[in-house]
């Protein structure tokens, strides 16, 4: 089971003066149960790409297969696809609309056909998962701080328990603890529910810590695709396209230049720490 | 004299039902004391909902204190006749680059503020030039803002604020939505305004790396100021910061853990260079 993108091409406003070629023949295979990161400069096509994965946007040309079925087939039920592939938008707080936070999170599961009671259970679980203080649950979502709204919006998609969860820059505006809590929670669901996760992020440290596969977008194309270690080894090329490597990777390169035999491909704090301790212990 | 002086500042968001009876009170600022000197670069940290934006909104009188006092540039914010002066002298930049740009050409957008307050055209042109230059965006003056990257849009927004010639700029998570390069561009521009033009900077952020550049840091927790000091002082208290839902820069944390593992690394390391030096001596 997997999702396959075959030469997916997308143009905004084709044939007009405003035509914008946002995706250029992107081909990818997303295996079931993978935890994938997507990075790229602003405007590289990340948001356009992921909106294709749940059928919100239709490729100008090319094909997408989910579990072997062509999602553009006229008999394919796109509504079902959207329940299986949950998408947390880039600015999800813009999509809050109910009178209370709790109702807002119940909306998705109820829409999916769950009973009021089951929907409430799911909402309860999801709000817990994103760590929103319980005393806020029955307030209006519009009176929350920026980071609190973000949590409610994420809870809304978690409550649907999708097979594939796509998060478009979910941690922008979250405090450091909140960032770790949400990503830990996502990692846990990935492990326990075998959920496929696609995380679009501007934090090189976060993707290095969490994902097993990293896709780099540049000008509508896939520029690199590999493990974080493989991808961040190309840090010079990443800088040329507005990205960078995690701070510790740079540190390791600087230490190597000073003649220390540390692991220059370390991308996480743990890896860097182990390598430095080993190098100094061995001296 | 302080440019900003908050004394026992309290702000309550009061919710009322249809009949006007008080339903609930949310104390967003709880006896806050904050001082900022002219020309200082101060960062404000705190968990989501700790009151940072509420404080920021007092600085240009989008909100007024429930209790306590706040002076901006020596003027009491509760005095109606000071409103104009204060708004002019404390410019705001927000998180989302797309909500802050109005005009269809960059230079018009930057000139919008001064035009609005009746500055003569010739003077506006000068200011637009100067402010775009100060954020490194002069060559884009005739471009359409919606074709710019996030970092470029934010720099245009900052130029728009600069064109009002404020003494102070308040930036509420200006880099939250930007890629690494965009974040660096914006921070570099802010630092330059501070160092070269002496503009007072208040930076609210959740990126600990950005705080390293500030002169001083305030940490908020549930509406209260709970820590204050230089970045080095504040970031040397790793465990206290974690208790307040915050963090330290990745390099500082690595140095901290190496120290705990028994290596001779000094406390309060902030940058890669400092850690390289500590390890290679
Ligand atoms: N318009 C409002 N009405 C009622 N309560 C509000 C309103 N705006 C904010 N609050 C509450 O006031 C408190 C402080 O909010 P504030 O927006 O100042 O937080 P913040 O520190 O800026 O958070 P963040 O990091 O998420 O931006 C929070 O508990 C929030 O729920
Ligand atoms: N609604 C739209 N209309 C026209 N062009 C768009 C629209 N949305 C995005 N684009 C353009 O498509 C390209 C890819 O954008 P996007 O997918 O949002 O990138 P990212 O998410 O990586 O920042 C950019 O050049 C952007 O300007
Ligand atoms: Mg995007
Ligand atoms: Mg805020």
Does residue B27 register a pLDDT over 60?
Answer: yes
pLDDT classification of B102: cutoffs 50, 70, 90: confident
A202 touches chain B (CB under 8 A): yes
CA of A42 to the centre of ligand 3 (A): 6
Between the CA of residue A3 and those of A33, A36, B136, what are the distances in Å?
11, 13, 43
Maximum separation of any 2 CA atoms in chain B, in Å = 71
Give the single-character DSSP code of B116: H
The residues near B15 (Cβ < 8 Å, ≥ 6 apart) are: A143, B22, B23, B24, B25, B26
Burial class (CB in 10 A: 0-12, 13-18, 19+), B21: exposed
d(Cα A62, Cα A6) in Å, to the nearest integer?
6
Report pLDDT digits (tens) over A190-245.
998 899 999 999 999 999 999 999 999 999 999 999 999 999 999 999 999 989 99
- The ligand whose atoms approach the alpha carbon of A217 most closely is 2
Task: Give the distance from residue B85's alpha carbon to the nearest chain A alpha carbon, in angstroms.
Answer: 28
pLDDT of residue B248: 95
pLDDT of residue A245: 95
Q: What is the mean pLDDT of residues B129-149?
A: 88
d(Cα B73, Cα A92) in Å, to the nearest integer?
38
pLDDT of residue A25: 96
* Total H helices, total E strands in chain A: 11, 10
**Chain A residues 57-96 within an 8 A CB cutoff of chain B:** 91
Does residue A283 register a pLDDT over 70?
Answer: no
Task: Give the distance from residue B262's alpha carbon to the nearest chain A alpha carbon, in angstroms.
Answer: 9
Q: What is the mean pLDDT of residues B141-157?
A: 86
Q: Which residue has the tokens 């091409």?
A: A9
Instruction: Residue A19: count other Cβ atoms within 10 Å of its Cβ.
Output: 11
Domains and CATH numbers, chain B: 4-230 (3.40.50.300)
Does residue B137 register a pLDDT over 60?
Answer: yes
The residues near B79 (Cβ < 8 Å, ≥ 6 apart) are: none
Q: What is the mean pLDDT of residues B158-182?
A: 89
Q: Average model confidence (pLDDT) for chain A?
A: 92
Q: Average model confidence (pLDDT) for chain B?
A: 92
pLDDT classification of A253: cutoffs 50, 70, 90: very high
Does residue B16 register a pLDDT over 90?
Answer: no
Out of A146, A243, A254, whose CB is closest to B276?
A254
Q: What is the mean pLDDT of residues A273-282?
A: 90
Burial class (CB in 10 A: 0-12, 13-18, 19+), B80: exposed
Report pLDDT digits (tens) over A59-102.
999 999 999 999 999 999 998 898 899 998 877 777 778 899 99
**CA geometry: angle A33, A34, A36, nearest 5 deg:** 145
Give the single-character DSSP code of B165: -
Does residue A146 register a pLDDT over 60?
Answer: yes
- Chosen for mutation from B175, B178, B180, B275 (greatest number of chain A CBs closer than 10 Å) is B180
Task: Give the distance from residue B164's alpha carbon to the nearest chain A alpha carbon, in angstroms.
Answer: 27
CB pairs under 8 A between A and B: 124
Does residue B164 register a pLDDT over 70?
Answer: yes
pLDDT of residue A282: 57
pLDDT of residue B40: 97
């Amino acid at each position: 089971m997997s999702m396959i993108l075959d030469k997916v091409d997308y143009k905004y406003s084709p044939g007009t003066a405003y035509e914008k070629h946002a995706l250029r023949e992107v081909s990818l295979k997303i295996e079931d149960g993978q935890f994938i990161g997507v990075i790229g400069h602003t405007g590289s096509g990340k948001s356009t790409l992921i909106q294709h994965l749940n059928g919100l946007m239709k490729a100008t040309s090319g094909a997408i297969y989910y579990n072997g079925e062509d999602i553009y087939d006229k008999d394919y039920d796109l509504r079902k696809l959207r329940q299986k592939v949950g998408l947390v938008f880039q600015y999800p707080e813009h999509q809050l609309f109910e009178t209370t936070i709790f109702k807002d999170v119940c909306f998705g599961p109820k829409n999916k056909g769950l009973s009021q009671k089951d929907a409430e259970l799911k909402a309860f679980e999801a709000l817990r998962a994103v760590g929103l203080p319980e005393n806020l649950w029955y307030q209006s979502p519009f009176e929350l701080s920026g980071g609190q709204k973000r949590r409610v919006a994420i809870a809304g998609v978690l409550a649907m328990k999708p097979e594939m969860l796509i998060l478009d820059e979910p941690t922008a505006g979250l405090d450091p603890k909140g960032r770790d809590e949400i990503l830990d929670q996502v990692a846990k669901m990935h492990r326990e529910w075998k959920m496929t996760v696609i995380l679009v992020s501007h934090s090189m440290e976060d993707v290095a810590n969490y994902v097993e596969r990293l896709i780099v977008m540049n000008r509508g194309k896939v520029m690199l695709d590999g493990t974080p270690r493989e991808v961040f080894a190309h840090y010079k090329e990443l800088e040329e396209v507005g990205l960078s490597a995690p701070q510790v990777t740079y540190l390791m390169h600087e230490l190597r230049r000073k003649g220390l035999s540390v692991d220059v491909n370390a991308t996480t704090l743990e890896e860097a720490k182990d390598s430095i301790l080993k190098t100094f212990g061995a001296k | 004299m302080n440019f900003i002086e908050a004394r026992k500042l309290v702000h309550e968001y009061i919710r009322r039902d249809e009949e006007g009876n008080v339903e609930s009170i949310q104390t967003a600022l709880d006896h806050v004391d904050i001082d900022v000197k002219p020309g200082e670069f101060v960062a404000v940290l705190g968990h989501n909902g700790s009151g940072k934006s509420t404080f920021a909104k007092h600085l240009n009188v989008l909100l007024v204190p429930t209790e306590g006092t706040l002076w901006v540039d020596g003027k009491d914010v509760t005095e109606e006749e000071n409103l104009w002066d204060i708004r002019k002298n404390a410019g705001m930049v927000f998180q989302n680059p797309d909500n802050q740009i109005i005009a269809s050409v960059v230079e018009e957008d930057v000139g919008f503020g001064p035009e609005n307050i009746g500055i003569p055209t010739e003077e506006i042109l000068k200011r637009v030039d100067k402010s775009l230059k100060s954020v490194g965006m002069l060559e884009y003056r005739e471009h359409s803002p919606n074709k710019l990257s996030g970092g470029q849009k934010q720099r245009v927004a900052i130029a728009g604020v600069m064109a009002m010639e404020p003494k102070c700029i308040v930036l509420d998570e200006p880099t939250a939505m930007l890629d690494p390069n965009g974040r660096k561009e914006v921070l570099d521009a802010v630092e330059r305004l501070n160092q070269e033009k002496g503009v007072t900077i208040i930076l609210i952020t959740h990126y600990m790396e950005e705080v390293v550049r500030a002169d001083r840091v305030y940490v908020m927790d549930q509406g209260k100021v709970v820590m204050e000091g230089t970045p080095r002082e504040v970031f040397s208290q790793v465990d206290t910061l974690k208790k307040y839902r915050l963090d330290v820069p990745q390099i500082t944390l690595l140095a901290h853990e190496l120290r705990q593992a028994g290596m001779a690394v000094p406390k309060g390391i902030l940058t890669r260079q400092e850690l390289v030096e500590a390890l290679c001596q």
